[in-house]
Structure 1
Amino acid sequence: MAGRQGESPVRLAAETWESLFRAQVAVMRRLQSAPAFKTLPVNEYDVLFTLSRCPTGWLRLNELNDNVLLSQSSLSRLVERLEKRGLVERMPAPQDGRGVLLKLTDAGRELQKQIGREHVRDISELLTPALTPAEQRELLRLTEKLRGSVSGR
């Protein structure tokens, strides 16, 4: 895509980033206020969702930290709260005494599924009127391309 005539690549990149960021913030604010997150805050749901996608069932705390938008100390406290509520289980990593493995409990898995079904409907209700299916596919392609470039994949 060519920029506006005379527009610098730096300026275009800054405007693109700002637009992407502001769109993400607006969407997240709307989704966070949806009824799906009355039971569990979105950052706690994010942990349950990430654990639900782990093929082995167990995920190292530091790997979980790589996939959520929280600091290590905030994540540790959040995991403690989820464990106290009976939603996650943790154990020391067998290979090393310092590592911690996490997995969903049955209650955590059920809550994640319940909230997830509602959350997906909320996402659809938000995106479908705004973007055609072709535009959604293009946005998906572009965001995956950007994320791959940034993460070196």
Structure 2
Amino acid sequence: MPDEAASLREASEAWEALFRCQVTIMRRLQKHPAFKGVNMREYDVLFNLSRCPSGGLRLGDLNEHVLMSQPSLSRMVERLESKGLVERRPDPCDQRAVRLTLTDRGRELQRKIGREHVRHIHELLSPALSPEQLRELTALTTRLGGAVGSS
């Protein structure tokens, strides 16, 4: 915990700066040609499924990692499934449940977009912040996310 509590104004200004920065960067990222076949929200689903060590997630678990309602996520998964990028498989731990997994095509597309996306992020952030500042930003946002997520 910080030694002294931030004032209401300081907390509000910090949040507004963080939020506006995120919106500005996201708008730039969304315009990148890598997101012509799938949009950033769809890519976010593919990305989260690609990071799953067990190879898949239940819809409710996936919903904890994305910023959208469960009904919106369900419709998106249906679209990704119709594009051949995601498939539903029985959950080996619970026969009543279904796990979402990437298809080979979905995994390949996620990797392709991911490589371009990371390069574009580098192009946007590295001229603005030094390596030390990027590490500090990572530490601060990780700490903030952990503190808010645990409360």
The bucket for the TM-score relative to the shorter chain is over 0.9
Q: Which residue of 1 aligns with 2:50?
A: 52
Supply the distance in 1 between the matched residues of 2:128 and 2:13 (Cα, whole angstroms).
Answer: 21
Supply the distance in 2 between the matched residues of 1:21 and 1:44 (Cα, whole angstroms).
Answer: 21
Instruction: Give the aligned CA root-mean-square deviation in angstroms.
Output: 1.8
Where in structure 2 are the equivalents of 1:4-153 lying within 5 Å?
9-94=7-92, 95-97=94-96, 99-152=97-150
- Identity, in percent, stands at 60
How far 1:85 sits from its partner (Å)? 0.7
Give ranges in structure 1 of 5+ residues lacking alignment: none
Aligned residues: 148
Give ranges in structure 2 of 5+ residues lacking alignment: none
Supply the distance in 2 between the matched residues of 1:92 and 1:111 (Cα, whole angstroms).
Answer: 23
Q: Could you list the structure 1 runs, at least 4 aligned residues long, displaced by more than 6 angstroms after superposition.
A: none
Opposite residue 61 of structure 2, the aligned amino acid is: E
How far 1:2 sits from its partner (Å)? 10
Cα distance change of structure 1 residues 2 and 93 upon mapping to structure 2, 3 Å threshold: closer
Opposite residue 46 of structure 1, the aligned amino acid is: D
Opposite residue 131 of structure 1, the aligned amino acid is: L
